[in-house]
Structure formats: C-alpha cells, structure tokens
C-alpha cells in the first residue's frame, strides 16, 4: 500500500511539473519576431505590446457584426525596430514590403507605404483584444486587423513573425 501511495504521489508531482512547464513554454511561444531590413530586430511579447499606445479599430467580421479590436498601430512597432518610414520612405525604400506570417504558415504582404501615415489614412494594427477581451485562442494572441478593407484575407490570425524585405 505504501508503494502504491508513493507511486501516486510521484505521478501527481510529475503532472504538476509537466503542467507548469507547458504553461511556461506556451508563454514563451507567445511572441512576434520583427526582422529583416530593420536596425533593431525585436521579439515582442504580449506584455511588451501592452506598453505601447493602444488604438481601436472597428471592423465588420464574417458574422456581419462590427467588432472593436484594440492593439498597436503596426507602423509604431516598425518604427521601434528602425524600419524606414516617414520622410525617408522614398526611392529604393519604396520597394520594401512587410511579410506577416502566422503559426500555420499563412502569409500576407503589405507594401511598406501602406503602413506609413504619410501615405495613407488607413489604420492597420497588431491587435491583442476584441470587444474588450483577449483574442480567442484560434485568433491570437496576436492578429493583424486592417481597417476598412473589404475582404478579411489580410486580417491574419495567430501572427508569429513580421519581416521587412526588399522586392527583387
């Protein structure tokens, strides 16, 4: 009986450590890497994004209802990484694009000028909340939301990487 009790306690202890380790590795995976043609590559966690000024974007989703997303303007993140924007976005720099990647391999592209407030009034954010709540597991923890785009194809879910590259 004593051996059985010891085995049960060791099993419970092992499960506790396994659960704690899995929780830590899940948190560790919740990042967005910003790389490519940047001065300062970034690895942004959810807590990092909460330190940036938050912006809200209202978008009609497939359910036909308007939803309010909040997050950080993508250009703000790119500026922190040292991406060429504003008055320096001209000439050769206009051939740069932003490739956003999701955990499932889905990718979308934005011309860098599409994200620069000197070129457009459209707001594109890296969202972390919808309607005041964290994004659903299937959508987040990070999602790109494109204001006023007719189709949601570039509102990419489960964002893991943002790469800035030159078109060749």
- Residue pLDDT, tens place only, 23-65: 444 445 589 999 999 999 999 999 999 999 999 999 988 888 9
pLDDT for residue 21 is more than 80: no
Residue 2 domain flag:
no
- Do the beta carbons of residue 45 and residue 30 sit within 8 Å? yes
- The structural domain count of the chain equals 1
Nearest to 166 by CA among 110, 94, 105: 94
Residues 6+ apart with CB under 8 A from 96: 37, 83, 84, 111, 112, 164, 165, 166, 167
Range of the domain at 126: 30-166
CB atoms within 10 A of CB 97: 19
Backbone φ and ψ for 91, nearest 5 degrees, come out as 55, -130
Does 12 reside within a domain?
no
**At 44, which CATH number?**
3.90.420.10
The per-residue pLDDT for range 88-131, each reduced to its tens digit, is 999 999 999 999 999 999 999 999 999 999 999 999 999 999 99
In a domain, 40, yes or no: yes
Residue 22 lies in a domain: no
Q: Is residue 8 part of a domain?
A: no
In a domain, 13, yes or no: no
Check residue 7 and give its pLDDT. Answer: 43
In terms of phi and psi (left: phi > 0; alpha: psi -120 to 50; beta: otherwise), the region of 82 is left
Question: What pLDDT score does 30 carry?
Answer: 86
Specify the pTM: 0.81
Q: Is residue 21 part of a domain?
A: no
Question: Is 15 a domain residue?
Answer: no
């Amino acid at each position: 009986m004593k051996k059985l009790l010891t085995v049960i306690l060791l099993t419970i202890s092992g499960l506790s450590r396994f659960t704690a380790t899995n929780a830590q590795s899940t948190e560790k995976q919740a990042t967005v890497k910003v790389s490519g043609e940047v001065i300062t590559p970034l690895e942004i966690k959810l807590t990092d994004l909460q330190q940036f000024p938050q912006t809200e974007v209202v978008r009609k989703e497939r359910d036909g209802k308007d939803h309010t997303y909040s997050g950080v303007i993508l250009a703000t993140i790119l500026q922190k990484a040292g991406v060429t924007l504003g008055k320096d976005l001209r000439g050769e720099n206009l051939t740069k694009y932003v490739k956003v990647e999701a955990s499932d391999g889905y990718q979308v592209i934005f011309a860098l000028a599409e994200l620069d407030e000197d070129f457009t009034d459209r707001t594109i954010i890296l969202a972390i909340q919808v309607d005041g709540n964290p994004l659903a597991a299937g959508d987040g923890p990070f999602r790109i939301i494109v204001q006023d785009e007719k189709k949601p194809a570039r509102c990419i879910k489960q964002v893991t990487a943002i790469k800035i590259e030159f078109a060749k």
